Chain A
């Protein structure tokens, strides 16, 4: 079940990259991608427990809201994560609000929506082909993290998921 969700997320992220980011190399800019996909991306000071949110209101473009208090790499991952939620709900025309909190449930891999969004974000920011090539060259995880502009922890997790380290 989780495996199918992850495969779908990887597939969708790859299609998103091909659709709007082809040839632009790395690091991928999730804010630019979101805007090209028709989303507004804004940031504001939020409660420290809130990572970000995706808000869809009637007759409005969906809005990704990021927490101004977070670091750049964290915000990049949150933005990519919210794009994942958007893609997952792209056929949902009703109004909705998805809030991501800084709690273990988001990362534990138990909630299918979060599993999808996390995998989508990882695949969007750290495309498998590029990661594999760099891994073949023996590039260290911290070097890759700098190149992809993600946290070292996220990079290590991605390498592990791809079976490269």
Chain B
């Protein structure tokens, strides 16, 4: 207790006590208002948390979207680069249509597959949840 701060001066407390007792006894104080109706009608806690969950999901979707776009760019750049190297260093520019079809087709299918998995399974449509 030795390091406790000194309490307010007794005279200050006495004066304040006298003032508040006088106000209460005089009955001059008015009723304090409760929260106004427009604040009482805020969404219930559950709805608020649902809104927060949606916001977090949107943020996560944004992060994934940026990541996927970046990966798509890298993937296509790598595919094209390897394609050029294959044609230039390996053989010649007269690649067969079959090689081009398979190469580009596989790249596109691979990326569509990645996007499909991420969007379909990590972020299911709201109307799919709990549906029959």
Residues on A facing B (Cβ under 8 Å): 25-27, 29, 31-32, 35, 40-44, 46-47, 49-50, 53, 55, 57, 63-66, 75, 79, 97, 99, 101, 103-105, 108, 110-111, 130, 133-134, 137-139, 147, 149
Contact = CB atoms under 8 A, between A and B. Distances in A.
Interface residues of B, number: 36
Given A104-B5, A110-B4, A138-B56, 12 more contacts: A32-B35, A35-B34, A43-B32, A46-B20, A47-B19, A49-B12, A50-B20, A55-B20, A65-B24, A97-B20, A99-B16, A137-B49
B44 A25 contact: yes
B5 A105 contact: yes
A137 B56 contact: yes
A41 B42 CA distance: 24
Contacts of B52: 134, 137, 139
Nearest to A40: B31
A61 to B, nearest CB: 11
A103 B8 contact: yes
Contacts of A41: 31-32
Tell me if B's interface is mostly helix, strand, loop or mixed: helix
B8 to A, nearest CB: 5
Contacts of B33: 31
Contacts of A44: 23, 28-30
B76 interface: no
Contacts of B6: 105
A19 to B, nearest CB: 18
Contact of A46 (B12, B19, B30, B48): B19
A9 to B, nearest CB: 19
Contact of B40 (A29, A40, A134): A29
Q: Which 10 A-B pairs have the closest CB atoms?
A: A42-B29, A44-B29, A53-B20, A25-B45, A29-B35, A41-B32, A110-B4, A99-B16, A137-B52, A43-B32
B20 A99 contact: yes
A97 B18 CA distance: 9
A75 B7 CA distance: 23
Contacts of A137: 49, 52-53, 55-56
B39 interface: yes
